[in-house]
């Protein structure tokens, strides 16, 4: 069975601080995808990144960066110089490919990030 653990339930930072959101996953599959989604107070799920299990290169997109460590089954997300607009719930998710090209995502419980001015 797959599992995604986001141990940090809530994080509160002051604007311009860097913050890292942790994600640890469990799967028996050798091929899988990892995702991060942002859920702002308005409720929608905003796609941030998809990473496949064969690609361990870290990725940077503006103020966002992701650190994928297969050896520790972690896929952590860092926001540099946080802004108030970053305040949201962030979900990490895992999808194996046992269903072919289906995306059956297993989500973590989410981390509520509050960035204070």
Partner 1 sequence: EPEVTQTPSHQVTQMGQEVILRCVPISNHLYFYWYRQILGQKVEFLVSFYNNEISEKSEIFDDQFSVERPDGSNFTLKIRSTKLEDSAMYFCASSAGRKGALHFGNGTRLTVT
Provide the 3-class DSSP secondary structure of residue 46.
strand
For the chain, where are the E strands, in sequence order?
A: 3-5, 10-14, 19-21, 24-26, 32-39, 46-52, 59-61, 64-69, 74-79, 88-96, 104-107, 111-116
Q: Any contact of residue 62 with partner 1 (CB under 8 A)?
A: no
Q: Interacting stretch for partner 1, rule CB under 8 A, among 8-16, 18-26, 38-46, 76-84?
A: 38-46
- Judged by CB under 8 A, the residue of 110, 111, 113, 115 near partner 1 is 110
The minimum distance between CB 64 and partner 1, in angstroms, equals 15
Q: Any contact of residue 44 with partner 1 (CB under 8 A)?
A: yes
Query: Would you say 82 or 111 has its CB closer to partner 1?
Result: 111
The residue count for binding partner 1 (CB under 8 A) is: 24
Q: Which of 11, 7, 18 is nearest to 92 (CA)?
A: 7
Query: Would you say 82 or 108 has its CB closer to partner 1?
Result: 108
The minimum distance between CB 95 and partner 1, in angstroms, equals 8
What is the token pair recorded at 39?
């859920």
- How far is Cα 117 from Cα 50, in angstroms, rounded to an integer? 30
- How far is Cα 53 from Cα 70, in angstroms, rounded to an integer? 8
Name the residues that contact partner 1, by CB under 8 A.
Answer: 35, 37, 42-45, 47, 50, 91, 93, 95, 97, 99-110
């Amino acid at each position: 069975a797959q599992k995604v653990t986001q141990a940090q339930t809530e994080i509160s930072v002051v604007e311009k601080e860097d913050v890292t959101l942790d994600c640890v996953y469990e799967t028996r599959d050798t091929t899988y995808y990892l995702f991060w989604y942002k859920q702002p107070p308005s409720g929608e799920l905003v796609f941030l990144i998809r990473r496949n299990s064969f690609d361990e290169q870290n990725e940077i997109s503006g103020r966002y960066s992701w650190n994928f460590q297969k050896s520790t089954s972690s896929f952590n997300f860092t926001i540099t110089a946080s802004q108030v607009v970053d305040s949201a719930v962030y979900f990490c998710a895992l999808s194996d490919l046992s269903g072919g090209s289906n995306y059956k995502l297993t989500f973590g419980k989410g981390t509520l990030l509050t960035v204070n001015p």
